[in-house]
Every structure is written in C-alpha cells, then in structure tokens.
Amino acid sequence: MRSSHPIGIFDSGIGGLTVAHAITRRLPHENILYFGDTAHLPYGDKSAAAIQAYAVKICNLLIQQECKLILIACNSASAAAFELVREYVGSKAKVMNVIDPVIDYLGEHYARHTIGLIGTKQTVNSNVYRKKTDALEKGIVLHSLATPLLAPMIEEGFFNKNISQAIVNEYLSDESLRGIEALILACTHYPLIKAQINAYYGGGVAVIDSSEIVAQSLQGYLTEHHLLNRQGLVSNEVSNEATSEGLPRRQFFVSDYTRSFEASTRIFFGEQVRLEHYPLWE
C-alpha cells in the first residue's frame, strides 16, 4: 500500500460528499476516488442484506483501484455492512466508517450526558449507536429518532426554506428527543440542515456534525501509519482528469448518472464536480 494511492469513499449517493469535502479541506493533497451508488439510493430504507451486497461490489472496485483506505461515508451502510466489508477487504485496505469516530468523540466529551440522534430507518433500527455507546460504559443515555423525510427533502434542494424548517421542527419536537443535551447528525446529508437544527434549539443543544470528526480521525490514521500523500505537496491545484504530474486527482463515480445529481453536488461538496457514470451493475 502506497501513500500516493487514493482514499476510496462511498455512499448511497451524493450525501457522502459532505464527508469527502471535509476530507479534501483537511487533506488537499490526497487523491480521492468517490463512488455514489445512485442506482440504489436511498440505502436508508433497504434491508441490511441488500446494503451488504452493494457494499461488497463497490469495495471490489475500490480495491481494484488500489485505494489505501476505504471510508464508508454513509451511516446506513456503516450500520449494515461495516463488519462484513472489513472482513471482506482484509489486509488490502484499511476500512473506516462514519460511526466509530463519533462514538470516540462522545466518549471523550459526553460522559454521563443525554444525547439525541437522528438518522435513517436503517441506522436507527440497527441500534448500532446504542450498542457502541453502551460498550463505552460512560453512562451516556442515547435517544434515537428515524427521520426518513430529511434526506430526500435535502436532495430535492429543500433546505434553508420555511417548509424544511417546519419539517425539522416537527421531527425535533418529538417526545423521544426531549431533554437531550446534544444531537448527533447520523446521516451524511444532514450537515446541510445544521443551521435549521441550530435554529430550532436556539443554541441550547450542541449539534454533532460527524463529517469533521470523521475527517479528523482519517487524518489521524494516515498520519500515524505514514500514509499521507506527499506527492501533491508542490501544488494546491487539483485535477479531475487523469493525473497531471504532481496534482492530486479527484474522481467522482456514480452508478446511475443524471444531470440533477451532478447539479446537486454543488450543495454537498461546496462546488459542482463532474460525475462519471460507472455502470457497476450492468
């Protein structure tokens, strides 16, 4: 495994670009290979078995492309497929998920606190956050609520609007979230509605956005294992095309291409990126 090899990142679609963006901001010299499984989106309503089958196939591609690290940038897939993927990938690449870094963060900062969590049905029903916080034995009480309307709402561009504020308010006023001191955004789409969530709580509840926490943890792993890419250090430019000498390369593949997905990359990644159709299922 070489430090110049790419970081492979995958998600059910383009929501994971929020995490990819946090990573590229922190580690601008890394080569990135992103795969959004838009043909099977949303994962949040799928069975664990289906998500596991998709994840294994995506990992085959990322292994083929010699990724040094594979990040499952989707809570639903992290909940359903992380253990299986880690075993499947074995020593070919390090596999990370978006849940464990948040659990570590809770252990450090929120011992004996009452925490809320919102995410897809898959993430919430898997109970994975509860099991992992219980395993910390730090007296953290976790209250989770499935909020399945939020991801499609954001993808349709409904954020920072009155209608989305009303939906956010409705979910957050649910009885199950009463008395929480912090809220985990357990879906990679949700950083887009962080402002509306903050508006609901008026600063009284800390909002835990996993994208930054995950990027920091990934940076820590690469640093510790001497796997940070050194090759691109000469330039701050980035190439979306085949490697120009010395420039980090960023490629964004989707299993089903539409122009509207491409247009939406702007909201998740901060700038529009060129999506390439990779027909993994054809």
Query: Which residues are annotated as catalytic?
Result: 74, 187
Is the Cβ–Cβ distance between 27 and 228 less than 8 Å?
yes
Minimum CB distance to ligand DGL, residue 258 (Å): 16
Residue 103 or residue 227: which is nearer to ligand DGL going by CB? 103
**Beta-sheet strand order (sheet of 7-11):** 94-97, 69-72, 7-11, 32-36, 250-254, 275-277
Please return the burial class of 103, using the count of CB atoms within 10 Å of its CB with bins 0-12, 13-18 and 19+.
buried
> Under rule CB under 6 A, how many of the chain's residues touch ligand DGL?
18
Is residue 154 involved in binding ligand DGL (CB under 6 A)? no
Is residue 123 involved in binding ligand DGL (CB under 6 A)? yes
Sequence-separated (6 or more) residues with CB below 8 Å from residue 42: 12, 13, 76, 120, 151, 152
Residue 101 or residue 248: which is nearer to ligand DGL going by CB? 101
Is residue 188 involved in binding ligand DGL (CB under 6 A)? yes
Q: Which of 34, 43, 253, 269 binds ligand DGL (CB under 6 A)?
A: 43
Is residue 116 involved in binding ligand DGL (CB under 6 A)? no
Is the Cβ–Cβ distance between 60 and 85 less than 8 Å?
no
Is residue 41 involved in binding ligand DGL (CB under 6 A)? yes
Residue in this structure with the two tokens 């990359």, named with its chain if needed: 265
Is residue 42 involved in binding ligand DGL (CB under 6 A)? yes
Is residue 132 involved in binding ligand DGL (CB under 6 A)? no
- Tokens standing for 119? 């995410």
Q: Which of 6, 15, 101, 232 binds ligand DGL (CB under 6 A)?
A: 15
Is residue 11 involved in binding ligand DGL (CB under 6 A)? yes
Please compute, for residue 42, the number of CA atoms within 13 A of its CA located in the half-sphere on the CB side.
21
Minimum CB distance to ligand DGL, residue 235 (Å): 32
Q: Angle 259-269/17-26 helices, nearest 10 degrees?
A: 50
Minimum CB distance to ligand DGL, residue 1 (Å): 27
Minimum CB distance to ligand DGL, residue 154 (Å): 9
Residue 188 or residue 229: which is nearer to ligand DGL going by CB? 188
> How many angstroms separate the CA atoms of 172 and 91, rounded?
42
Minimum CB distance to ligand DGL, residue 37 (Å): 8
Minimum CB distance to ligand DGL, residue 182 (Å): 18
Is residue 38 involved in binding ligand DGL (CB under 6 A)? no
Q: 89 vs 62, 99, 227, CA distance in Å?
A: 10, 18, 18
Q: Which residue is nearest to ligand DGL (CB)?
A: 44
> How many angstroms separate the CA atoms of 37 and 35, rounded?
6
Residue 6 or residue 15: which is nearer to ligand DGL going by CB? 15
> How many angstroms separate the CA atoms of 48 and 51, rounded?
5
- Tokens standing for 97? 């998920």
Is the Cβ–Cβ distance between 114 and 143 less than 8 Å?
yes
Sequence-separated (6 or more) residues with CB below 8 Å from residue 162: none
Which region, judged by CB under 6 A, interacts with ligand DGL, from 72-80, 135-143, 158-166, 218-226?
Answer: 72-80
Q: Which residues bind ligand DGL (CB under 6 A)?
A: 11-13, 15-16, 41-44, 74-76, 120, 123, 151, 187-189
